[in-house]
């Protein structure tokens, strides 16, 4: 720990969120897409760019693209909450834990157990609204300190209970799904009470933060002190520091702030062998094989992360959004590659394909008067004057953050390279909307489920040379699989290049299709997603860029890691958790 | 692996180095400091900036600073080679391995065994020249392929032999020291035949390189193809890719190219559980706790690294050296901090203290005529016009690499900040010499041993707020320890800030003292180095920034890692190498 610096201790922590669950599962109760009596879609209460807007073009466009009829009424309404399975008895364990952390923080309330028994995969969302979860935790614990967590791990060992750590519940890997075959009681360890920023060290740009701290609260608290973590995953509204570490998360502004492995300098974790700690947090070191690094990507199977020391940054002097149109995905992709080679890369750079560009255009309110005229003029310039094909053109959204000099240097580079690749600036407002659309996509997914459309995202990372073909192959494969099942209409499949690296990119896909009249819509969805992952691996993509393995991609591990690599994973797990206390069963 | 790109396969690999050992142990036979008949010091055959120069000021300055008398003749000449301990019998193992890799590549030659039985710590250098090594490997193996390494590991398991991988032999951690108490035969696995660049992928900026490839050969081979790895540790003349990975190495140009953990995207290793491999090398991924990452910092205890996929960079458009004088270490340090905050950081930035600045000034040939006049004028400007105190002033050396635009942006920032902190540019030539002095320091260490001066370097990393005090404390402690032992003269103790990070810096120390007439010079040295490390830890420094733990710092691990963290290290080791085949005993 730094010694000769004045640490700042922020004011009291934010309250724990009110249950963000019902009725839309993901999101606050005030955040909701709905269909108005006039047939338009509106979004209420959202804190990002779309809030309060009425979207007349969304549903007609969906119907056209997917060749299905979307009902304006008679929606598939959620039947949440489903029947919750009975809890296994674990009275002695509960009593033992209650003694340490307080009886109030040990609950078997069915809704709490339900809430802690799933993440945010499509399957989980579908089951929680329209089916059942076959197994959920038998008890939920809310430790308030590292000592509480130590007591919980000890009690679990003594009473033969298994533990699943719980952060924001936002994973999309079935990481929280309780194994049906687990004979022991399962306790969910919810870190939400451990959400404080313990200290901020302005001199060394460090902060010590508890694992349960939620992204959007961290942003607000650090901003009050003039700092930012810079880590902004799509899930930042709900996901936690501990979850980011356990899943090896990536933030949208990683070009400036780094991915979680760059941000985290120290991790404290309670493990079955004891508490992993160190006496200093140096900027970089070589001290052998360091156990704390193993928490990155551990997905709840090796220990319970209690807090971490992270680097923080002064709030950027300048923040600027921009968007650039390109005549085709290929031209935009070439621009990205040149921009990466220039090393003058803005904080966030993303390239959406034509379909996703069209989607973003439908997420606009009806324009009136001057606004409508302006929009028509812009369209005329793009399509008639610049000869961009509306069915080919794509958009790159950019977020600049940094000092005035840094941003100016990046902007000059972007403008020069964009011009060289046929790009045309589309303005800051489009850039901001494009960036913020990401935060809304989970809400859209939940909304379209009501319209009997199954939708989900998945991602990969891939070398530059293989990226374009991978995108094409995955799209083709989805269309083929959809057709083979004689599902209604056409599938919605779109991608964006969402992260840039020296040696390759991350690619994000959105998939959706109508299931009106389909006998087993969930099975159809799971089979197609599985096929898409198969195609990704065959095309040279990774198993996951940042979502992780969890249980949803476990079966693909043999295609990525050699038998010895998997034997190592198992040997290490058996060695450090011989009783399999941390039995989430991920990886 | 990337699929849609034309890989370049470089021409045949460089030959294995001729034995670089005798008579100076480190370095080629053609590289040598010596005292000329006129009493001046000269350096022959060196490929860096000092080659061929005659240095009249070095010895007088050493005598002044250290308050000792340095002999010009009657030097302490090396008695290398020492008596080599007899080899343990391991006939069946040797026969089994020879069958796979060829009898020619299995040797018990005493000099080969000796060469493979030590690294480059002061103790090892002293013992190998003036004492004995109590244990060296019983056999040395030179595998030529991954299959050879697999066969060696299998044979070791069957015949109960233990293995110590060998790269360039440049560690300064006793990592290669053979444990005297090891009852089994010890085989050194020398990777020098596995030194090929397997392929270069220009599109994705990747290369696949075998573990035994030596730094300076890699530089030359990649440069022929227009690329650089950018990894330049002090030991780059001899150290290998495998060694860099196993020790978690840091290169002097890490600001641009990253440390080894940033450079290496995939590691293939033969372990007792099998061969760790993967099917793709994505730019970044989240696939759980990935065993290949555990090779970073493993120091030969978990597996034998055979090859790695690394990122490479086009040769920089611009390379430029510079040096800036500051009136004091504190002012220079403030400049470093501001430069780091600016994020416009040149590839290498280092700040030497006053003593090291003076040392660099003595490493100059005698100036004649105009050159002498120029030097006197420069000195007048610095000391009289600028009022720099010769006993306080320090120097910052800089290496810029990158595109013209990048370098220009960095230079503007450096000049603005240097001016704000009282800096004065000292020119490119001084910058280049300062940078290259690092490569010569091991030669100087070996040279001064002949003058009965024990010298060594050690390093740490530390938060910004603690760095200056750490430097002061270590210097004071060394002076105290030296005095307490009534050793001759004064100790030479100097430091430089050698790496910049957002949250702190790496600090490098040089230590030396005369031992004329001292009964046990080695013990005196080891005690003082131990005390210095104690002081580093007490002052908030890390156990090591990049040298590693090995055996030399093992005893300090309990002060850095919690008992649970050490229990993890042991549990993992036992799990993946239950027979302790990789028995170097580091960490």
With pLDDT > 70 as the criterion, what percentage of chain B qualifies?
94
Task: Give me the residue from A250, A543, A568 closest to B576, CB to CB.
Answer: A568
A287 in B contact zone (CB under 8 Å): yes
What's the pLDDT band for B91 if we cut at 50, 70, 90? very high
Helix (H, G, I), strand (E, B) or coil at B587: coil
A572 in B contact zone (CB under 8 Å): yes
Residues of B with a known catalytic role: 508
Task: Give me the residue from B282, B294, B569 closest to A461, CB to CB.
Answer: B282
CB atoms within 10 A of CB B9: 11
Average pLDDT value over all residues in chain A: 91
Per-residue pLDDT tens over the stretch B478-501: 999 999 999 999 999 999 999 999
pLDDT of residue A430: 81
With pLDDT > 90 as the criterion, what percentage of chain B qualifies?
76
Q: Which string of DSSP letters, residue by residue, matches B408-451?
A: HHHHHHHHHHHHHTT-EE--HHHHHHHHHHHHHHHHHHHHHHHT
Are residues B209 and B297 in contact, defined by beta-carbon separation less than 8 angstroms?
A: no
Q: How far is CA A383 from CA A60, A324, A396, B26, B46, in A?
A: 22, 14, 17, 69, 65
Are residues A549 and A560 in contact, defined by beta-carbon separation less than 8 angstroms?
A: no
pLDDT of residue A369: 79
Which residue ranges in chain A fall short of pLDDT 50?
A: 18-29
Q: Using the beta-carbon criterion (under 8 Å), do B294 and A543 form an inter-chain contact?
A: no
Residues of chain A neighbouring B567 (CB-CB closer than 8 A)? 273-274
What residues contact residue A386 under an 8 Å CB cut-off, 6+ apart? A327, A424
A225 in B contact zone (CB under 8 Å): no
Task: Give me the residue from B259, B311, B569 closest to A288, CB to CB.
Answer: B569
Helix (H) or strand (E) holding B8: none
Q: Which string of DSSP letters, residue by residue, matches B111-160?
A: HHHHHTT--S-HHHHHHHHHS--S---SEEE---SHHHHHHHHHHHHHHT
Structure tokens at B242: 């495998």
B534 in A contact zone (CB under 8 Å): no
What residues contact residue A184 under an 8 Å CB cut-off, 6+ apart? A88, A160, A161, A162, A583
How many interchain CB pairs under 8 A, A with B? Answer: 330
More confident residue, A254 or B26: A254
The distance of B275 to chain A (nearest Cα, Å) reads 6
Q: Report the pLDDT averaged over residues B112-121.
A: 94
CA dist B135 and B137 (Å) reads: 7
Q: How far is CA B501 from CA A127, A227, A252, B383, B414, in A?
A: 48, 18, 22, 32, 16
CA dist B19 and A196 (Å) reads: 59
Helix (H, G, I), strand (E, B) or coil at A51: coil
pLDDT of residue B57: 87
A82: closest CA among A119, A32, A31, A135?
A135
Q: Which of A257, A321, A508, A510 is catalytic?
A: A508
Q: Report the pLDDT averaged over residues B221-247.
A: 95
Helix (H) or strand (E) holding A100: helix A91-101
Are residues A174 and A544 in contact, defined by beta-carbon separation less than 8 angstroms?
A: no
Helix (H) or strand (E) holding B17: none
A259 in B contact zone (CB under 8 Å): yes
Judged against a pLDDT cut of 70, whether residue B425 lies above it is answered with yes
Residues of chain A neighbouring B247 (CB-CB closer than 8 A)? 286
pLDDT of residue A3: 60
Are residues B496 and B326 in contact, defined by beta-carbon separation less than 8 angstroms?
A: no
Per-residue pLDDT tens over the stretch B268-283: 999 999 999 988 899 9
More confident residue, B41 or A349: A349
- Three-state DSSP string of B309-377: EEECEECCCEEEEEEEEECCHHHHHHHHHHHHHHCCCCCEEEEECHHHHHHHHHCCCCCCHHHHHHHHH
The distance of A190 to chain B (nearest Cα, Å) reads 21
**A3-32 residues touching B, CB cutoff 8 A:** 3-5
CA angle centred on A224, ends A218 and A226, rounded to 5°: 100
What's the pLDDT band for B438 if we cut at 50, 70, 90? confident
CA dist A253 and A399 (Å) reads: 8
Radius of gyration of chain B (CA): 24
Per-residue pLDDT tens over the stretch A458-479: 999 999 999 999 999 999 999 9
Helix (H) or strand (E) holding A458: strand A453-463
Helix (H) or strand (E) holding B41: strand B41-44
Are residues B500 and B336 in contact, defined by beta-carbon separation less than 8 angstroms?
A: yes
Biggest CA–CA distance in chain A, Å, is 75
B503 in A contact zone (CB under 8 Å): yes
- Three-state DSSP string of B472-503: HHHHHHHHHHHHHCCCCCCCEEEEEEEEEECC
Q: Using the beta-carbon criterion (under 8 Å), do B291 and A568 form an inter-chain contact?
A: yes
Q: Using the beta-carbon criterion (under 8 Å), do A564 and B276 form an inter-chain contact?
A: yes
What residues contact residue A439 under an 8 Å CB cut-off, 6+ apart? A48, A234, A236, A237
Q: Report the pLDDT averaged over residues B437-447.
A: 80
Among all chains, which residue has been given the structure tokens 């009425």?
A54
Structure tokens at B553: 């710092």
Beta pairing, strands A106-107 & A41-44: unpaired
Provide the whole-model pTM.
0.95
CA A186 vs. chain centroid, Å, equals 25
DSSP-assigned beta bridge partners for residue B311: B206
What residues contact residue A94 under an 8 Å CB cut-off, 6+ apart? A106, A108, A139
CA dist B1 and A541 (Å) reads: 9
B275 in A contact zone (CB under 8 Å): yes
Per-residue pLDDT tens over the stretch B47-56: 555 666 788 8
pLDDT of residue A47: 57
Per-residue pLDDT tens over the stretch B509-553: 999 999 999 999 999 999 999 999 999 999 999 999 999 999 999
- Three-state DSSP string of B151-214: HHHHHHHHHCCEEEEECCCCCCCCCCCCCCCCCCCEEEEECCCCCCEEEEECCCCEEEEECCCE
Q: Using the beta-carbon criterion (under 8 Å), do A282 and B462 form an inter-chain contact?
A: yes
pLDDT of residue A17: 54
A170: closest CA among A233, A114, A217?
A233
More confident residue, A238 or B241: B241
Judged against a pLDDT cut of 80, whether residue B558 lies above it is answered with yes
CA dist B586 and B557 (Å) reads: 11
Judged against a pLDDT cut of 70, whether residue B30 lies above it is answered with no
């Amino acid at each position: 720990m730094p010694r000769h610096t004045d640490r700042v201790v922020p004011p009291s922590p934010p309250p724990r969120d009110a249950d963000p669950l019902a009725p839309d599962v993901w999101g606050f109760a005030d955040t909701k897409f709905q269909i108005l009596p006039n047939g338009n879609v509106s979004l209420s209460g959202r804190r990002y760019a779309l809030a309060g807007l009425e979207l007349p073009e969304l549903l007609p466009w969906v119907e056209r693209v997917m060749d299905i009829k979307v009902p304006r009424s008679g929606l598939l309404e959620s039947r949440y909450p489903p029947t919750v399975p009975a809890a296994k008895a674990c009275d002695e364990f509960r009593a033992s834990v209650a003694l340490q952390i307080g009886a109030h923080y040990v609950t078997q309330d069915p809704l709490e157990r339900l809430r802690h028994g799933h993440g945010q995969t499509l399957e989980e969302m579908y089951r929680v609204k329209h089916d059942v979860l076959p197994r959920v935790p038998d008890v939920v614990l809310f430790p308030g300190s590292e000592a509480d967590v130590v007591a919980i791990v000890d009690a679990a060992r003594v009473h033969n209970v298994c533990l699943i750590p719980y952060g924001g519940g936002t994973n999309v890997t079935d990481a929280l799904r309780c194994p049906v075959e687990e004979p022991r009681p399962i306790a969910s360890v919810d870190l939400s009470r451990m959400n404080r920023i313990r200290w901020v060290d302005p001199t060394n740009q460090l902060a010590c933060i508890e694992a349960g701290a939620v992204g959007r609260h961290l942003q607000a608290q650090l901003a009050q002190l003039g700092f930012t973590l810079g880590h902004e995953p799509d899930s930042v509204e709900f996901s936690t520091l501990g979850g980011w570490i356990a899943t090896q998360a990536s933030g949208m502004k990683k070009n400036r702030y780094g991915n979680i492995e760059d941000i985290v300098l120290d991790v404290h974790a309670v493990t079955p062998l004891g508490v992993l700690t160190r006496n200093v947090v140096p900027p970089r070191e070589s001290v052998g094989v360091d156990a704390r690094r193993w928490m990155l990507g551990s997905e709840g199977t090796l220990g319970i992360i209690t807090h971490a020391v992270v680097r923080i940054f002064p709030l950027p002097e300048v923040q600027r959004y921009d968007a650039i149109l390109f005549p085709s995905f290929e031209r935009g992709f070439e621009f990205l590659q040149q921009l990466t080679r220039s090393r003058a890369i803005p904080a966030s750079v993303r390239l959406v394909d034509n379909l996703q560009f069209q989607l973003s255009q439908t997420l606009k309110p009806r324009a009136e008067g001057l606004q409508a005229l302006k929009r028509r003029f812009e369209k005329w310039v793009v399509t008639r004057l610049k000869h961009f094909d509306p069915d080919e053109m794509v958009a790159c959204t950019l977020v600049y953050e940094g000092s005035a000099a840094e941003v100016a240097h990046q902007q000059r580079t972007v403008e020069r390279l964009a011009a060289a690749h046929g790009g045309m600036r589309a303005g800051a407002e489009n850039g901001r909307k494009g960036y913020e659309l990401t935060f809304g996509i989970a809400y859209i997914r939940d909304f379209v489920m009501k319209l009997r459309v199954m939708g989900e995202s998945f991602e990969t990372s891939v070398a530059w040379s293989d990226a374009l073909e991978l995108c094409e192959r995955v799209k083709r494969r989805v269309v083929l699989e959809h057709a083979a099942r004689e599902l209604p209409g056409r599938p919605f499949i779109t991608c964006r290049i969402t992260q840039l690296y020296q040696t390759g990119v991350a690619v994000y896909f959105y998939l959706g299709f109508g299931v009106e009249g389909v006998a087993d819509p969930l099975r159809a969805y799971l089979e197609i997603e599985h096929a898409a992952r198969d195609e990704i691996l065959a095309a040279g993509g990774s198993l996951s860029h940042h979502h992780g393995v969890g249980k949803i991609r476990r079966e693909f591990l043999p295609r990525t890691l050699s038998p010895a690599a998997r034997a190592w994973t198992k040997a290490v797990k058996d060695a450090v958790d011989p009783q399999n206390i941390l039995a989430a069963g991920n990886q």
